[in-house]
Amino acid sequence: MVHLLRLVGARALCARRVGSPLLPPPTRAISQQAQRQMDTLRPKVREFVERTVRMCQPAEVHVCDGSEAENANLLNQMAESGVLEPLTKYDNCWLARTDPADVARVESKTFIVTEEKRETVPIPRKGRKGMLGNWMSPKALEHAVAERFPGCMRGRTLYVVPFSMGPVGSPLSKIGIELTDSPYVAASMRIMTRMGSKVLETLGDDDFVKCLHSVGRPVPVSKKPINNWPCNPENTIIAHVPSKNEIISFGSGYGGNSLLGKKCFALRIGSTIARREGWLAEHMLILGITNPAGHKRYIAAAFPSACGKTNLAMLQPSLPGYKVECVGDDIAWMKFDDKGVLRAINPENGFFGVAPGTSSATNPIAMKTIFSNTLFTNVAKTSDGGVYWEGLEKEVDTSVGIVDWHGDPWTTGSGAPSAHPNSRFCAPAAQCPIIDPQWESPEGVPISAILFGGRRPLGVPLVYEAFNWQHGVFLGAAMRSESTAAAEHKGKVIMHDPFAMRPFFGYNFGHYLAHWLSMEQRGTPATMPKIFHVNWFRKAATGGFLWPGFGENTRVLDWVLRRVDGEDCAQESAIGLVPKPGSLNLEGLKEAVDMQELFSIPKEFWQQEVSAVAQYLDEQVGEDLPYPIVEELEHLRQRVEKL
């Protein structure tokens, strides 16, 4: 009775909201069972759920416990409603096809909400468009929410998804609660995060990050969803409110737009929490590496897209006696401990990896990870109930039939790719055969080195080391990578992507740089991670790659670790410390490598690089660019002039 009154009262409240249409009554009151579930929630959680129920008017509420039985119900129910297809060739693997209008993150509709614009983004120089994030005022967000959310979950079930980013109970972990009307999101969050009752128990009466998500298609739908994938691309918005630890996402069911623990929480909101609390939330893989002497270290590495970050995180070493283990492939939360050692956790619980290009040749470990308990999205399907994508040509029997990611028959000659280029696997990290024994360590793993990288066909050597922390921060700021950019560009362009964080900054990039620079004061000099820049993608004048890459990158990591050990195997160059001649271990390398060309530092190229980076940082960061970065740029310019 009490609950009924609450709902009625809420409806009146919704109807009074300025600018929102009068809402018809909910299709039905939520079940008594759901009410009982909601009654078990702690006051803060319950208030969040009840407020959302009043606004969004779902037909039903389900509080996720994270159990196997609950998961099986979700999956079977999605199979019945045509959202998922079972992939009968594998154990508990499923295929989702999205509406082709909902296949990727939408940066133009992603906002950070602060009182002052400058908290979110630096003010670009006159006439320049800011490329370091989108700002929205709290008023504009209020309006955007009022226009979209009232009644948006009518006819659907609201799933309450309690999740922990990081091992449950770790001092480095943070808890979120995602309210979503997408069962696909609930099932994916169970893979990508620690999800369920144990999280609510740990939360107690503490605060949590409030995550609200709706596909934005109340039932009955105005038009039949394509592929049974409801979404609302015209009205999509992904908003982050750092001051309230809130994320609000509407209109997209895909990946980073809807699995709010990942990019939205662990990077955007995470970076703002990290700044306040004095740590780092970064777009980095974490790997453990043991050398032939049995000495184990951990490396964190940031790469823009299309550099093979997941492949590096699961590297199969070519050098005898080396062992690589995986802590994470996408995000690192790093904090200096009371001894001044930088410690990292992977806040995630799974891999949400790009499928095309993944094969036994490029990443045999991933191939051993993703064929059980995995949700595939927008990959192609074989007639024997398996998956297919570009890169698997040599691994799938050509006698099988293939349907593409739209569900249409496909053959090699079709022209268009079989799988969407951004198609994904979503697989539990625990299934990775080389998952690190310490990957769930509550105190995190100690980081000895940080790598920044990029896909640089010209001018940038295989590896070089920063002279010091300040120079290392500059290397992160100056990151660029080749990418097949926006549709209007045909060819490949070298894009700026500082710290591989360009789409993920939760606050002003100038302030972010100042925060990184300040980290030097928190670390103990002897154990401060050394910073390196790597480039596996340099090409010869004749066109081919100069470096074999993949497992052979172990040779670069070996040199990095020897530098960490203090070995005298580096010499100064204009751009940083490069390997002394003969110090990179090339023993047993089958391919002939032109070391001269691989490590050359062409004066003209670097003059252009300096001016491109200078122009970018001046135009984009302007007044907010910390002086030490200006200083590093000027020193680099002077060293390059002497080449």
Residues engaged in binding ligand TSX (CB under 6 A): 306, 308, 311-312, 315, 357, 362, 536-537, 545, 548-550, 553
**DSSP H stretches of helix in 426-478:** 469-477
Residues 174 and 445 sit within 8 Å (Cβ to Cβ): no
Tell me how far, at minimum, the Cβ of 553 lies from ligand TSX, in Å. Answer: 5
Please tell me the distance from the alpha carbon of residue 450 to that of residue 613, in angstroms, as a whole number: 21
Query: What angle (nearest 5°) sits at the alpha carbon of residue 177, between those of residues 277 and 375?
Result: 110
Structure tokens at 258: 């809807």
Q: Which of 137, 197, 305, 573 is catalytic?
A: 305
| Residue of this chain nearest to ligand TSX (CB atom) | 308
536 binds, among ligand TSX, Mn ion, none (CB under 5 to 8 A by kind): ligand TSX
Please tell me the distance from the alpha carbon of residue 57 to that of residue 347, in angstroms, as a whole number: 32
Tell me how far, at minimum, the Cβ of 600 lies from ligand TSX, in Å. Answer: 18
**Would you list the DSSP string of 268-285?**
IIHHHHHHHHT-EEES-E
Structure tokens at 471: 């120079």
- The owner of tokens 């590496």 is 289
550 binds, among ligand TSX, Mn ion, none (CB under 5 to 8 A by kind): ligand TSX
Residue 93 annotated to the active site? no
Residue 282 contacts Mn ion per CB under 5 A:
no
475-501 per-residue burial string, b: 16 or more CB within 10 A, e: under 16 = bbbbbbbbbeeeeeeeeeebbbbbbbb
For residue 75, which phi and psi values (nearest 5 degrees)? Answer: -65, -45
312 binds, among ligand TSX, Mn ion, none (CB under 5 to 8 A by kind): ligand TSX
Q: Which of 159, 184, 254, 298 is catalytic?
A: 254
Residue 330 contacts Mn ion per CB under 5 A:
yes
330 binds, among Mn ion, ligand TSX, none (CB under 5 to 8 A by kind): Mn ion
Instruction: Pick the piece of the chain touching Mn ion (CB under 5 A) from 181-189, 325-333, 375-383, 386-394.
Output: 325-333
Please tell me the distance from the alpha carbon of residue 290 to that of residue 288, in angstroms, as a whole number: 7
Residue 14 annotated to the active site? no
Q: Which of 213, 424, 455, 530 is catalytic?
A: 424
Instruction: Pick the piece of the chain touching Mn ion (CB under 5 A) from 323-331, 365-373, 378-386, 559-567.
Output: 323-331
DSSP character for 267?
I
Q: Which of 62, 105, 455, 538 is catalytic?
A: 105
Instruction: Pick the piece of the chain touching Mn ion (CB under 5 A) from 204-212, 324-332, 536-544, 616-624.
Output: 324-332
Q: Which amino acid is at 327?
A: V
Please tell me the distance from the alpha carbon of residue 396 to that of residue 629, in angstroms, as a whole number: 50
Residue 137 annotated to the active site? no
Residue 298 annotated to the active site? no
Dihedral sign of CA atoms 346, 245, 274, 134 in order? positive
Q: Which of 330, 404, 436, 497 is catalytic?
A: 330
249 binds, among Mn ion, ligand TSX, none (CB under 5 to 8 A by kind): none
Residue 240 annotated to the active site? no
Q: Which residues lie closer than 8 Å to 256 by C-beta, 6 or more apart?
A: 105, 262, 263, 264
Query: Based on CB atoms, which residue is closest to ligand TSX, 579 or 626?
Result: 579
Tell me how far, at minimum, the Cβ of 426 lies from Mn ion, in Å. Answer: 13
Count of positions on this chain that bind Mn ion (CB under 5 A): 1
User: Which string of x and - marks every residue 150-189 that binds Mn ion (by CB under 5 A)?
Assistant: ----------------------------------------
Query: What angle (nearest 5°) sits at the alpha carbon of residue 317, between those of residues 314 and 322?
Result: 115
DSSP character for 415?
S
Residue 305 annotated to the active site? yes
Which active-site residues does the annotation give? Answer: 105, 254, 263, 283, 305, 307, 330, 424
State the residues that interact with Mn ion by CB under 5 A.
Answer: 330
